[in-house]
A and B are shown apart, each in its own frame.
Chain A
C-alpha cells in the first residue's frame, strides 16, 4: 500500500482583490493570486485562475505518476487517462464556481446548498437501497407516527380491558 502522504496534495491559495477606477473613470476589479503546493513547496503567482488550475494539474499528475511506479505500462496509461478525465471535469467547473462566487456569493451559496441537499438525498436513497437489499421491504420498515399512535391506542385498550376485568373479579369475590 502506498504511503498516505504520497496520496495527498495540499494547496494554499491566496487571493488579493484590487478595486480601482480605470483611467476612463470606470470601476474595475482585479484578482491577484498566489498558490503554493504544500508538500513540494513550489509557488506560482497568477492573475488568471486558469494558471492556478494548470499548476494544480501538474502537481496531481506528478502524484499519479509516483503512485503508479509499480504498475504495468498498460495500467499506468489507463489510470493516467482516468486521472486526467477527472481533473478535466473539476478544472472546468472550479474556475466557473470561483467566478460565480465573486459575481454573486449568495447565488453560489444557494447552489452549494442545493448540491449538498442532492448529495444528501442520493445518500439516503443509497442507504435505503442497501437496507432493502439486506431485508425484504415487507418484513421491515421504519416506525412512523401512525405506528406509534396505533401502539398507544392498543395499550390504552389493553389497560381498559384490564380495569374491566379487575372490576368483574372484585364483583365475583364479593358475591362469594
Chain B
C-alpha cells in the first residue's frame, strides 16, 4: 500500500536491482493473486501482458528477475524459496513473506473478533492496522485491471476500519474520532457514516457550529454526487444537535 517497496533481510531492494518493469509487474501480480491457487504461466501472462506475442520469453525473463532480486545468493539448480513452481503452475510462498496488506487484514480480523467482547483489544488492533496503511494499493498500477478488485477490497476494508475505530473512541476521545472520520472522507467523500460520526464527536465536544457545518457538507456532497438527501438518521442527528442548546 502506498509506494511499492520490497525489503530483503532488512535491506530495501533498489529500483536498479529490479531492472525491467515487467519483473516488478509479475511480482506484484503474484502478490495480488495470493489468495488464488497456483496459477498457470499462461493465465498469469494473459492477465498482465495480454498484448504480448512473446509471452514465454517475457515470463521466463521476468521470473528469473524476481528470483534474482529475492535470492541473489541462491545456488544454481536449487529450488527458489519464494516463488514456488509445481509443474507449470506458480505461486508465492506466503509463509516466508511479510506483506503489509496481509498484516492489515489479520489485524482487522482480530479487531472485529474482539469488538464486542474486548473493545480495548479491538482498539489496539484497529490502530495497528491503520498505522500500516500508507495509501492506495499499488498506485502505479491504477489503470491495470488485474489490480482493481484488490484495490477496491482494501479501500473498503480501511474505510470500515476508520469508522469502527472512530465509533469505539467516540466517548473517550472525540478529537481522534473526528480525525478518523475525516480520513475516511478522504477515501470516499460520500461516506455518510463518517459525516454522522464527525457530527456526534463535535456534539460531544460541545462544538455545535462545527457539527451543523458537517451536516451541511454532507448534504451538499450527497446532492452533488447522487442527487439525494441525507438519510433520516442523519437528519435526526442534526435535529438533536440544533435542539440541544
Contact = CB atoms under 8 A, between A and B. Distances in A.
A36 B145 CA distance: 11
In this complex, the member of B51, B192, B233 whose beta carbon has the largest number of chain A beta carbons within 10 angstroms is: B51
A32 interface: yes
B145 A32 contact: no
Interface string B131-159: 00000000000111100110010001000
A18 to B, nearest CB: 6
A46 B224 CA distance: 10
A22 B233 CA distance: 10
A38 B226 contact: no
A67 to B, nearest CB: 14
A12 B149 contact: yes
B69 to A, nearest CB: 26
Contact of A12 (B50, B148, B192, B231): B148
Contacts of B228: 30, 32, 47
A93 to B, nearest CB: 23
Contact of B152 (A12, A40, A45, A47): A12
Given A8-B145, A23-B232, A38-B144, A47 B226 contact: yes
A21 B236 CA distance: 12
Contacts of B156: 14
B25 to A, nearest CB: 13
A20 B231 contact: yes
Given A12-B148, A20-B233, A47-B226, A41 B143 contact: yes
B227 interface: yes
Given A8-B50, A45-B190, A18 B231 contact: yes
A176 interface: no
Interface of B: 50-51, 142-145, 148-149, 152, 156, 188, 190, 192, 225-228, 231-233
23 contacts: A3-B51, A4-B51, A8-B145, A10-B145, A10-B148, A12-B148, A12-B149, A18-B231, A20-B232, A21-B232, A22-B232, A30-B228, A30-B231, A32-B226, A34-B188, A38-B144, A39-B143, A41-B142, A45-B190, A45-B226, A46-B226, A47-B226, A47-B227
